[in-house]
Amino acid sequence: MAFDIDMIKKVYSQMAERVDKAREVVGKPLTLSEKILYNHLWDGMPNKAFTRGKDYVDFAPDRIACQDATAQMALLQFMQAGKTKVAVPTTVHCDHLIQAKQGAALDLKRANETSNEVFDFLESVSNKYGIGFWKPGAGIIHQVVLENYAFPGGMMIGTDSHTVNAGGLGMVAVGVGGADAVDVMAGMPWELKFPKLIGVKLTGELSGWTASKDVILKVAGILTVKGGTGAIVEYFGPGAKNLSCTGKGTICNMGAEIGATTSTFGYDDAMERFLRATDRAEIADEANKIRPYLTGDDEVYANPEAYFDQVIEINLSELRPHLNGPFTPDLATPVGQLGEKAKANDWPIKVDWGLIGSCTNSSYEDLTRAASIAQQAIDKKLKPKSDFGINPGSEQIRFTAERDGLLDVFENLGATVFTNACGPCIGQWDRSDRKGDEKNTIVHSFNRNFSKRADGNPNTHAFVGSPEMVAAIAISGRLDFDPMNDSLLNEDGEMVKLDIPRGIELPPKGFEVEDAGYLEPVADGSRISVKVSTTSERLQLLEPFVPIKDSELMGAKLLIKAFGKCTTDHISMAGPWLRYRGHLDNIANNTLIGAVNAFNKKTNFVKNQLDGEYGGVPDVQREYKKAGIKTIVVGDHNYGEGSSREHAAMQPRFLGVAAVLVKSFARIHETNLKKQGMLGLTFANEADYDKIQEDDTFNFVDIASFAPNKPLTIEVVHKDGTKDTIMANHTYNEAQILWYREGSALNLIKIQNAS
């Protein structure tokens, strides 16, 4: 069934005229990314050429997707906007609040018992405001979106950084904070700096053990975790057409790990096959009518250096399987070289777990490729040396995989099939073999492998690979195993070698499902009441943020100077803290507890300048808040890397942090800070980071004249009375400065709606 087909037809009906006009205005052939962007301008028909990486542009996204952990805060904000219904098609997907422990049935039952208050809230608020609701167990948001909502040439935003997965079906799909989503839900434009463009030309064809996942693992090694910041990555070339739709989705999904705004592919036969297989033939028929407009112009792909800001070329026929990690997804190593590297770095060789699934690799094709390796282990009498965990991507995939015997293969190998949910990928994993202080290794087909990400243990070394490589490594139980060259000793004492994996792009018998888990909202939700208990520890109605006064930025104190990598996991941890995602006061108790204090190299241990004592970051910050003192957070490069969670901005804001001053920001986090009425600033001179001392006080001497393209001057007063003056750059435009002056973007929406 094709959801929102009339909306899709409208997008397609205007695309040719708008793209032709954009080509005329820009004066050159267009990439696919540009075609989609110019077709979704808030003002309609293009009338000017935008400068990449400079111009802020208002867009009109076609739809919004929210997962349950971030949907709580997004919808709590939307409830303040004074609207009776969302302005664009929106869905909520319950996939984050289900802990992987015993297996699908028991884990889902426990989740429905422990998080029923949150699920009931999300279901009722969705029903009231015209939002489609996907129940717990229905599947992982991005796989469900790919199967039901993504369409070539569309634009979508979602309150999860891996919304970019929909690029596998030719969308410009971007992860945003909840405040951005609220703007669009309320019928307002979505603002984005016009992205730069990185072109990745794929030639050749995948074969053997190399998978689509290896493309993005290779790209991550080239561009690093920040190399794609501010850019859309557009894949093209004959190699791109040789990839399956879900394989393209995998590549786009992990584009979030290089900081890319999003990634995308041009419409092709693989996408058409996927649309028809997922009961959306009508969309395929409509897309075929404007097929040339759903990919980049021929001239662009023939001479990419003239049209992209950067071009990378990868020959798929020469690409080798990779495992990336540990602790960062851009540390790329070809499989055959990993053993030597592990020994040199003292990474544990023994592998304890192999985890297959997540929004990155949980399609039917992914399961078949991994199952082909699992079946070989059974047939060749190989007993797995590691534990196995499987997370199917959706109920449709799970039901179809069960029908086709794939799940039996995994279970016969001793694997635990978890719920169709995120599970270990986001820290929702009650690991059965807790390791404590012992260094240990796991391999998984997820996207992120930050410290503590999967199991909360800083000693767990996590490596990212394709599902089939994860299966092979887990069967061997060794990180240095190379299935292309190495053999294994079976139960009969024979040395056997694994054959290359075999995958099936789409189920030969078609997809099948009894209950997909979708609930359609009622046409009129005016009589539906959404109740939030004042005594709830899980949900809390929001109070508007009060604007930060200029006078409060004279005498601001340093809360923490973060050392090294500081991701959203460090700023607002997931795992057990997910239960408080709808309660700002309670979740604020995890604010920056994972950040490393530059002055003592400890986490959650900072100096309170009021009494000279040390304490946890949230505790010290609450003392500053009681005293009416604003604070500042100082950070390193790519601050806020990772998830789109706006809690990482809302929590410091709620506790009284006024500014974040860093060497550089991850895109989504910088926007989230702006939306919540905070100052997100970067050092004009990165070396000034070293001038910040533990007892510093900050005076924003010219904040009264805060203006676009004008750096701010900050006087840093040290404990001994000496001073340093540093310059802080920013990217605020006039509208964003108004968000700051009003206390938040949401405050401004309420003012505009009231007028």
Residue 124 appears among annotated catalytic residues:
no
Taking Cα atoms as reference points, which of 467, 476, 469, 470 lies closest to residue 384?
476
Structural tokens at position 132? 């489609």
Residue 276 appears among annotated catalytic residues:
no
The answer to whether 192 and 332 have CB atoms below 8 angstroms apart is: no
Residue 430's CB is within 10 A of a number of other CB atoms, namely: 15
The answer to whether 117 and 220 have CB atoms below 8 angstroms apart is: no
The answer to whether 261 and 231 have CB atoms below 8 angstroms apart is: yes
DSSP 5: H
Q: How far is CA 657 from CA 35, 629, 679, 726, in A?
A: 40, 9, 9, 19
The DSSP annotation for 513-538 comes to: -S---EEPPPS--TT------TT-SS
Catalytic residue among 62, 68, 107, 160: 160
Q: Each residue of 146-173: b (16+ CB within 10 Å) or e? A: bbbbbbbbbbbbbbbbbbbbbbbbbbbb
Hey, what amino acid is at 271? Answer: M
The answer to whether 32 and 266 have CB atoms below 8 angstroms apart is: yes
Find the helix or strand (DSSP H, E) in which 143 lies.
helix 141-148
> For 677, left (φ over 0), alpha (ψ -120 to 50), or beta?
left
Taking Cα atoms as reference points, which of 234, 299, 311, 263 lies closest to residue 26?
299
DSSP, collapsed to helix, strand or coil, labels residue 367 as helix
d(CA 246, CA 656): 43
Catalytic residue among 18, 96, 162, 280: 96
- Report the relative pairing of strands 723-729 and 712-717 from DSSP bridges: antiparallel
d(CA 183, CA 189): 7
The DSSP annotation for 562-608 comes to: B-S---HHHHS--GGGGGGTB-HHHHGGGTTTTSBBTTTS-BS-EE-
Angle at 245 between CA 243 and CA 249, to 5 degrees: 100
Residue 160 appears among annotated catalytic residues:
yes
Residues in CB range of 408: below 8 A, 6 or more apart: 402
Residue 387 appears among annotated catalytic residues:
no
Residue 448 appears among annotated catalytic residues:
yes
Helix, strand, coil shares of the chain, percent, nearest 5, are 40, 20, 45
Catalytic residue among 645, 647, 653, 730: 645
Q: In what order do the strands lie in the sheet with 262-265?
A: 262-265, 231-236, 196-203, 310-315
DSSP 394: B
d(CA 255, CA 243): 16
Q: What are phi and psi of 381, to 5 degrees?
A: 60, 45
The answer to whether 249 and 264 have CB atoms below 8 angstroms apart is: no
For residue 326, is the peptide bond before it cis, meaning its omega torsion is within 30 degrees of 0?
A: yes
Strand partners, 558: 632
Catalytic residue among 95, 183, 268, 636: 95
Q: Which long-range contacts (CB under 8 A, 24 or more apart) does 522-527 make?
A: 522/127, 525/84, 525/85, 525/127, 525/128, 525/129, 525/130, 526/84, 526/128
Enumerate the active-site residues: 95-96, 160, 448, 643, 645
